[in-house]
Amino acid sequence: MSFVVGLDAGGTSTRALVLDLDGTRLGAGVAGGANPNSLPPAIAATHVRQALTAALDGLNPAKVEAGVLGMAGSSKVLSDPAVGELFEAAWSDAGLRCPLRVVTDCEAAFASGSDTPDGTVVVAGTGSIAARIENHTLVSTSGGYGWLLGDEGSAFWLGREAVRATLLALERDEPDGLAAAVLRRAEIPEGPPRDRWRRLITAANAASPIELAGYAPLVTAHADVPSADRIINEAVEHLAGLAESTRKGDDNTPIVLMGSLVHTHALGSRLKRELATRTGAPVRTATEGAAGAAWLAAVRVLGEAAPRPT
């Protein structure tokens, strides 16, 4: 019996999955984050080895014919020889003898949501980006500039807009449900609106910018409040625009959504409807990145007829 292995390495966790060639799951493992851009590369590589070792427990690693590592921060592994060596060592230390193939988390996510070789993936998590996939490979992107230069429609963007909407509400002395929730989360005490306005600005600027993403759940939780409804609609417009910019003409290839925001009913359902209306294409949600990566490994062995993971 031959196996394939797939990994989904993010900033906070790494998941590994072993399949046999008929798509049956044989083992799984979880470890800490493995993005070498947000963690020391040596620690990131160690987490890859730990996830692999757990997934291969009781199995013969020599029987793994192909493996794919889908990850955020893949460019650092591919472009920095020293970092690449760390990940190669983690691969071989887990007992694998097949080559290590590194792909982006977008490619793994698209493969988890679609068995077609071409299409679009839209990421709406802490950041935002859309990518064009052709022959299972990322060929172009739209957005993904980071919190300072873009990431419209992302959790960071939603959180920032929530704080801005709260400041506007305090200026007008018209606090609503979203503003009340933002002020509670920021631990702003009761007091005159102008005083709370100053305290909120100070609190938001004292934290690291990315911490604004922590306010995003307040927006989706208060979707029935007009200010939150407006923010969600604007986010959907931004994300749908990113997706459209990667597609041409009457393209009807699938669109796969990934990221924490697409799993919220308030935003995810609106985004699916908007994309379906604009493109007429099937819109799907990514499931398990490690399964997508493992299926890509199986395609290397069996071709396009490789069974999907069960």
| Residue 83 contacts residue 37 (beta carbons within 8 Å) | no
Q: Which of 14, 86, 97, 5 is nearest to 50 (CA)?
A: 14
pLDDT over threshold 90, residue 72: no
* Structural domain for 211, as ranges: 117-279
The total domain count for the chain is 2
Q: Using CA atoms, how far apart are residues 118 and 96, in angstroms rounded to an integer? A: 30
Tell me the CATH number at 19.
Answer: 3.30.420.40
- Based on the fold, state whether residues 134 and 270 are members of the same structural domain: yes
Question: Who's near 190: CB < 8 A, 6+ residues apart?
Answer: 196
DSSP string for 145-198:
--TTT--TTSHHHHHHHHHHHHHHHHHHT---HHHHHHHHHTTPPS--HHHHHH
Which pLDDT tens digit goes with each residue over 73-99? 677 777 889 999 999 999 999 999 999
CB neighbours of residue 242 within 10 Å: 24
In a domain, 310, yes or no: no
3-state secondary structure of 142: strand
- Based on the fold, state whether residues 153 and 243 are members of the same structural domain: yes
pLDDT number for residue 196: 97
In a domain, 111, yes or no: no
Mean pLDDT over the full length of the chain: 93
- Based on the fold, state whether residues 55 and 150 are members of the same structural domain: no
Q: Using CA atoms, how far apart are residues 279 and 281, in angstroms rounded to an integer? A: 5
pLDDT over threshold 80, residue 11: no
In a domain, 271, yes or no: yes
In a domain, 219, yes or no: yes
pLDDT number for residue 76: 72
Global confidence as pTM: 0.86
Burial-class residue 115 by CB neighbours within 10 Å (0-12, 13-18, 19+).
middle
Q: Using CA atoms, how far apart are residues 105 and 102, in angstroms rounded to an integer? A: 9
Which pLDDT tens digit goes with each residue over 235-256? 999 999 999 999 988 899 999 9
- Based on the fold, state whether residues 7 and 82 are members of the same structural domain: yes
